Every structure is written in structure tokens, then in C-alpha cells.
Structure 1
């Protein structure tokens, strides 16, 4: 497997990866997905030797004070092989100087979150409320 920084992804390749993990909200408008990936501060990808995309992580950042990990996804058949960990460790290394390194995910009561929250904690990430902080946002557009 090879990790790389890319400037964007093609429509079909991006849609296929996001659909493989059930993130259909992103694939309703594939052109918007492609534009969002191209507009990322950093887009890290992991590919198999044959070039097949198996995972990605992307950030939104000013590169100095804040890094927001927008997406981290790995194809289900490639999960539990350390790919997500490698992607996150590379992002943490790249943004080590940023005061804020943030990631939002589903509430702990959802099935996906019961799997992902221990993973994020193992990387040293701590929920906002445990840091005496709060996060706010407009309702998610589904």
C-alpha cells in the first residue's frame, strides 16, 4: 500500500470509496464531492499496488492554528489493517504546530461511533466536553 498527497480524485473513484463506507450524503452530488476533495488543505490517499483507492483522509486548515479532519475513511474490506491509523498519524505529524486538531463524528450512541470512538481515543483524541470545550454547528443537511 502507498500513501500519497493528491490534489483531487475523479468522480467515479471518489463516489465508489464514499459509497463503500455508506457515506451516501456525499455521493448524492458527485461533482460537489470532487470539488470538496480538490478544495481540501491536504488530501492523503492510500492505494493498493494496483492503484485501487482503499482509503483517504482530508483536512480543512489554515496550516498554522487549526486543523479540522473533515473525512477519514477506509474501505470495509481494508479496515483493521492500520490504514486509518497511518493516515491519522501522518495528519498529526503534518499539523503538530496547530493549536487545534479537531475531528467531528457521530454521537457515541450510534453503532458506527461505538466502533470509531475507541479508535480515535487510541490516537490521543479527546471529546470536546472532556476538555472543558463545546462544539456548535448548524443542523447537518441530509
Structure 2
């Protein structure tokens, strides 16, 4: 088996983040956790992923502190997976991926799931990246300052 390249000691936050999440299955598990899935069977039904793959991804997310394995809320012998504060901090990432997908992978009138505010039932505003002074910024407005330069 080919070993996976690790980025957990990289000086790049993007590389470390990708290393922690691992792959698309992990992001979809996190998405489902935001949607209320808590049990292994719920994740498997939603994703249609093989049990061995799901088991591996859940273990990795727990080991990485994104999910926690806790006793089932109904008092049964089962375990449930809940987002930790580190996992909840992925919410803007999931929203950004959702909004990017809506913009680039659906025809204007093509139906798709929508994320709405529980309070008013309205869609969310498009996420924006802003500078400390409140200005909207894009790639042309930013630069990466390498750790060795700082």
C-alpha cells in the first residue's frame, strides 16, 4: 500500500487543514454531523459509504479532535459522534463549499438542497472575506507571508 503524504508539520495552514480532514468522505461526514447525524448507521445510510471506510474516517476525525465519540443520548449501548468545538469551527468551510457548489455546479433553476436560517427560513448571505478594516478582499488583495519571513 502506498503511504499518504503527511502535512501535519507543514508551515502552511491550508496543508495542515487538508491533512486533518483527509478526504471528501470526512467533509461529508462533518456536513452530515451539522445536519444532525450522530450514529454510525445514520452516516452510512446518508453517505452510502462502505462500513470499513466510514469506520476509518470516523476514527480519524475523533483522533483529530473534530468529532467526539460519546455514549448514546438514549442510554443504549451505542456510541454517537458529536462535533467538538474544533469540528463546529468547520461550519464556515462547509457553508463556503456549499455556496461555491451552488454557484458553479447547478443550472440557475436546477433544484438542490438549501441551507436556511432556522429563525426566518431565509437563505444565508454569500460568505465574504474581509480585511480587518471591513473592506471586502479577493486574491489580488492578499499575499502569503511565509513563516520564515515573519
Fold-level similarity (TM above 0.5) = no
Structure having greater relative contact order (Cα 8 Å, sep ≥ 6): 1
Larger radius of gyration: 2
Identify, as 1 or 2, the structure richer in strand.
Answer: 1
The normalised TM-score by structure 1 is 0.32
